[in-house]
Amino acid sequence: MTADAGGPSGGVMTAERNVRTQPMIAPSKQQLAAPARPTVRGRLIALALLVVAATLVVAAATWPVDKPPDPEVKVPPVNVTVQTVAAIPEMPDTFDLTAVVSPDCVVRVAAEVPARIEKRADRPADIRWRGMLLPEDQPLEEGEPVAAGQPILYLNRALLEARYEQARAQHEFDEIEFNRLAGLYTNATASKTEMDNARTRRDVSKALLDAASEELERTTVRAPINGILNRFTVEVGEYASPGDCVAEIVNINPVKVTADVPEQDIHYLQLGESAHIFLFSPDKPEVAGQITYISELADAGTRTTRIEVTVPNPDYSLRSGQIVKLRLTRQVLHRVIMIPLDSVIPLENGHEVYVVDSQNQAQRRNVRLGFIRGRSVQVLDGLADGDRLIVAGQRYVSAGQAVAVVEER
């Protein structure tokens, strides 16, 4: 029927029939084996996917990740020894020199009249000297003490006594003659010229008698000063002319300690200032004296100035030629801070120390140093009273580091 064929259902059925009536053609083996070639669009899509994937990988690698906080590391405190800084109210700025002990004076006793040495004088009394008892009425020996005015030698008096007797006789005669003429002159029997001549002869003979008496007295050679009879320079029986040295007396109480002071220090010293002498002896390690001489001329070669310090020496413990240490004072300083030299850390440009604050932490202090005395050094700037200075362990700390004080001086 034509109408049915033209309807919708008929069209569908006709199509189905056409499909069914078409023969089925199977694909060949070559078609099945050959892969399908990608199109340009497919390639672009694949490339875009690769780029996106790479971008995601890079982003994932660089994306910040919140890490857990590192555990806090606690540094144990450093064991240190501290010393509380305290200013010294007054401190002398001193310096030491090597000095030599010399006697106060050395007197060379000379004969004053020509005569032969008769004998040595005897001791006037018992003398205790250097642990020995020296009895009186025994001849003096070298090395014994003598007093000023004490006889030490006797010269032969024979010739001088004869001269003295001659001068005495002449003077007695001139005195009698003068008295006789004085009576005549009173009676106007003698002239004034005769009277004057008699007076002159009397006076001249008196002068000669005094000279002979003085020469006779000087046959006894006496010690001019207190000191030690160091030696006799002549023997008994030798002849001594006026001016010949017969004995040598040394005064070592007091003694003089001489030293050469450098030119940079000599202007600090004044006459009368005290000085201290240190001996190399355990029994008497130190004695005091006064500056009694400062030379006005400096040594041109060494640029030093000679000074003398007078030191009492009643027990004769200081001997001539002894080497001692002389301590002199430049000036007296006030409020001086001295710290151990080992506590200072040298830097390229200066020095530093460490102190402990109230929180038991080390703090750095830059310091300016002064003079060094022994194992201590003066601090001019950088420390104050009450600072707790680290004197041991300071090289193992840094600023702000916790410390443990194991010892406090």
37-47: pLDDT as tens digits: 557 777 778 77
**Pair 348, 304 in one domain:** no
**Pair 231, 325 in one domain:** no
DSSP result, 220-235 = EEE-SSSEEEEEESS-
User: Cα angle at 100 between 99 and 102, to 5 degrees?
Assistant: 140
Give me the pLDDT at residue 73, please: 65
Cβ neighbours of residue 140 closer than 8 Å, sequence gap 6 or more: 120, 121, 122, 123, 146, 152, 229
Is the confidence at residue 14, as pLDDT, over 50?
A: no
Give me the pLDDT at residue 113, please: 94
Distance, in Å, from the CA atom of 81 to the CA atom of 405, rounded to the nearest integer, reads: 6
Q: Is residue 39 part of a domain?
A: no
Q: Tell me which amino acid residue 66 is.
A: D
Helix then strand then coil, in percent of the chain rounded to 5, is 25, 40, 35
**Pair 173, 274 in one domain:** no
Distance, in Å, from the CA atom of 362 to the CA atom of 401, rounded to the nearest integer, reads: 5
Q: Is residue 278 part of a domain?
A: yes
Give me the pLDDT at residue 10, please: 43
Give me the pLDDT at residue 70, please: 64
**Pair 214, 128 in one domain:** no
* pLDDT confidence band for 57 (50 / 70 / 90): confident
Q: Is residue 43 part of a domain?
A: no
CA distances, 342 to each of 96, 335, 405 (Å): 22, 22, 18
Is the confidence at residue 11, as pLDDT, over 60?
A: no
pLDDT (tens digit per residue) in 240-292? 999 999 999 999 999 999 999 999 999 999 999 999 999 877 777 789 999 99
Lowest mean pLDDT among 18-22, 202-206, 339-343: 18-22
User: Cα angle at 14 between 8 and 16, to 5 degrees?
Assistant: 110
Distance, in Å, from the CA atom of 360 to the CA atom of 390, rounded to the nearest integer, reads: 11
Q: Provide the domain limits for residue 176.
A: 157-218
Lowest mean pLDDT among 18-32, 69-83, 270-284, 292-306: 18-32
Half-sphere exposure of 255 (CA within 13 A, CB side): 24
Give the end of a domain, one of 312, 333, 354: 333
Q: Is residue 2 part of a domain?
A: no
Q: How many domains does the chain have?
A: 4
**Pair 346, 326 in one domain:** no
Give me the pLDDT at residue 279, please: 85
Q: Tell me which amino acid residue 155 is.
A: L
Give me the pLDDT at residue 49, please: 78
Cβ neighbours of residue 222 closer than 8 Å, sequence gap 6 or more: 149, 150, 151, 152
User: Token pair 């000379």 is at which residue?
Assistant: 110
**Pair 120, 232 in one domain:** yes
Is the confidence at residue 161, as pLDDT, over 80?
A: yes
Distance, in Å, from the CA atom of 232 to the CA atom of 106, rounded to the nearest integer, reads: 13
**Pair 349, 381 in one domain:** yes
pTM for this entry:
0.65
214 closest CA partner among 253, 157, 299, 175: 157
Higher pLDDT, 48 or 69: 48
Give me the pLDDT at residue 373, please: 87
**Pair 167, 196 in one domain:** yes
Q: Give the pair of three-digit tokens for residue 94.
A: 């001193």
User: Token pair 């060494």 is at which residue?
Assistant: 302
User: What's the length of the chain?
Assistant: 409
pLDDT (tens digit per residue) in 163-182? 999 999 999 999 999 999 98
Cβ neighbours of residue 150 closer than 8 Å, sequence gap 6 or more: 121, 124, 222, 223
pLDDT (tens digit per residue) in 110-146? 999 999 999 999 999 998 888 888 899 899 999 999 9
Average of per-residue pLDDT values in the chain: 86
Half-sphere exposure of 135 (CA within 13 A, CB side): 2
Provide the terminal-to-terminal Cα distance of the chain, rounded to the nearest Å. 134
Give me the pLDDT at residue 1, please: 36
**Pair 327, 341 in one domain:** no
